Each structure stands twice: as structure tokens, then as C-alpha cells.
Amino acid sequence: MKFSIVITTCNRLSLLKRAIASALNQSIPCEVIVVDDCSSDGTAEYIQSLGEDIIFYRNLKNMRQSFSVNVGVKAAQGDWIKLLDDDDYLAPNCIEEIMKNIAQYPEAVICSCQATQVDIKGVEICQTPKIGLEQAFYIAQADIHYGMLLEEVPFGTTSQVAFLRDAFLNSGGWDSSLDDCYNDIDCWLRIAQFGDAVFVNSCLVYRVVWSGSYNQKSSLLKRLNTNILIKEKIYNLVNPKYQSVLPPLSYICNYVKLHWLLVALKQKHFVFAIRISFPAVLSMRSWNILVKAMRSRNNRPSRKSVILKTTK
């Protein structure tokens, strides 16, 4: 089993240096690829100064993140790919721990780990929740999409996830129409059609939470509409064995609106909150789904849900 780390970047040289250092300092050496989306801040010169340690690709014009991810993965020689955003960085044992855990599950095509969330100065804010009780928590392919629909299976952000290269290529890669908003989740749900998932309950990546994050640049309306689109895609992939307990799609869409209603209220976007509140706010079924999803997030370490299998 071979791993490639693929880093995409655009005009973030000061942050990129830390991401590259974390990739080169892995306890198990692996291929490191950087795809530069036509930066103008000296990124190309810096990477070229690193010599043969880095495989470097540079877009001739700005093509945005999805295009760059697809370029990097197609060029990679590894069987498995670890993506890394340029503002995040890896723990030294990240690849070693992921490799050790997925080796136990040969049918796995996607793996997620916990992240330590830090501010721009590297000060810890919190850790993302564990999934289940075991060090490596396994989910069969047939159970993944139902779990994703109801927030029981949260793969997380780009830097938390590794995947089988062949599954990525078969999935079609990242969709450029979703740049800056759910392009990663959209890919995870398609990769998950091809095999099982593993969650590693160790913090193996540092995710930087700051105002310059790509997902902070999208409007609430765009994030709401794209969230609904993603839920619709997941809904259509839910295994038939869950049809008897699957809520109607309209309730799922209203549940998503309720989630963004709470986000809007927290951020004091009151006009937007009122705009999206009806008729979702009147749907008790949708409120129940939201409450269960929130409870699920809070109780993940002790959960033994029917959709979460712990045996091969």
C-alpha cells in the first residue's frame, strides 16, 4: 500500500510552508504533490527551491480548487490519496496511523480521522468528535448513505479524509460547479458507492479555523441551497434496505432549512432567517430530525446505532 499526499494552494505561501513541512515530516515517507492554482506570491519559486522532495504542478491560469484536486490525484502514484488543504497540516504519524487501520479492512475505499481544530496561530480550539467506541470504526457500504443523510456518518473536511485513488477516479472526482461549498462532501458520497468506510478515532490532522477559509466565503443562501442539493444526492443513494424508515425528502429539505435558520439567527442574519423559516418551521417531523441529528453529534463516542457496524 502506497500513499500520496496532494496539497492544493493559491496565494497562501506563509500557510503552505507549514502544510508542506507536515507532509514531508511523516513517520512513513510518501509522495508529496503540490498543485499551485497560478499563485502570484512566490509559491512557485519556493516549491522549486525544495528540489525533488516535491512533485509540482502549476495551473497556467486560475482554475480553482476542484480542478487542482483532480490534477493532483490523477498525477499521483499512490494507491491511497491523502488530500491536504494549504491552511491545514498533518500530525507526524497521520499516514502511518491511517495505513495501519485501513489495512484491517481491505474493502474500505474511504477513511476519515478526527481533527484538532486550531486558530490561525495554532492554538487549540477543540477536537472533532469520535465515531463509535473503537480505535477504528468500520461502516459497511450499504449503511453509509443513510448515515450521511441523518448526520450519523460525518466524513468531515478535506484534510480529514483519505481515499482509494481508483474509487476517486471512478467517482468522477471533484465537481467544479461546487467550488468553495460542499465540493468535498459531494465527492465523498460518490466515492462511498464503491466500498466501505473506516473512521480512525485519533486526531491526525490540524484544521485551521479562520475567516480566510474557503467555506467562509460563500453566502448563507448558497450554502443552504448546496446543502439541500447534497442531501438530495445522498437520498437517492440510500440502500433499499432503509426504505421503510427513510423520511420523505421534503422533511429532509426542511430539516436542512431549520439547521441554517439556527445558523442565521446565531449570526444575526434575521432577514435571511425569516426568509427561509416557512414552511419548514411548522414541520414537527423536520424538527424531530434536527433534534436527533444534534443529539447524534453529541453522543457519537457511545453510540451503537444499527447503521454503524463494528465487525468486518
- Are 36 and 50 within 8 A, CB to CB? no
Question: pLDDT, tens digit, for every residue of 108-145?
Answer: 999 999 999 999 888 999 999 888 888 899 999 999 99
Question: pLDDT, tens digit, for every residue of 34-49?
Answer: 999 999 999 999 999 9
For residues 116 and 114, give the distance between their C-alpha atoms in angstroms, rounded to a whole number: 7
pTM, full prediction:
0.91
Question: pLDDT, tens digit, for every residue of 49-78?
Answer: 999 999 999 999 999 999 999 999 999 999
Mean pLDDT, all residues of the chain = 92
Question: pLDDT, tens digit, for every residue of 175-197?
Answer: 999 987 899 999 999 999 999 99
Which residue is listed with cell 492554482?
A: 37
Residue 308 has pLDDT above 70, yes or no: no
Which residue is listed with cell 417531523?
A: 285
CATH tag for 3-210 (out of 3.30.465.10, 3.20.20.70, 3.90.550.10, 3.40.50.720): 3.90.550.10
- Are 258 and 290 within 8 A, CB to CB? yes
Smallest Cα–Cα separation from 252: which of 222, 280, 220?
280
Listed in sequence order, the residues at least 6 apart from 76 whose beta carbon sits closer than 8 Å to its beta carbon are 4, 6, 31, 33, 165
* Cell representation of residue 223: 450554502
Q: E strands within 41-195? A: 55-58, 80-85, 89-90, 108-118, 124-127, 136-139, 161-164
**∠ Cα 262 265 271 (to 5°):** 120
Least-confidence region, from 163-172, 218-227, 289-298, 303-312 = 303-312
Which residue is listed with cell 460547479?
A: 177
pLDDT of residue 266: 96
Q: Provide the residue ranges of all domains of the chain, joining segments of one domain with +.
A: 3-210, 216-298
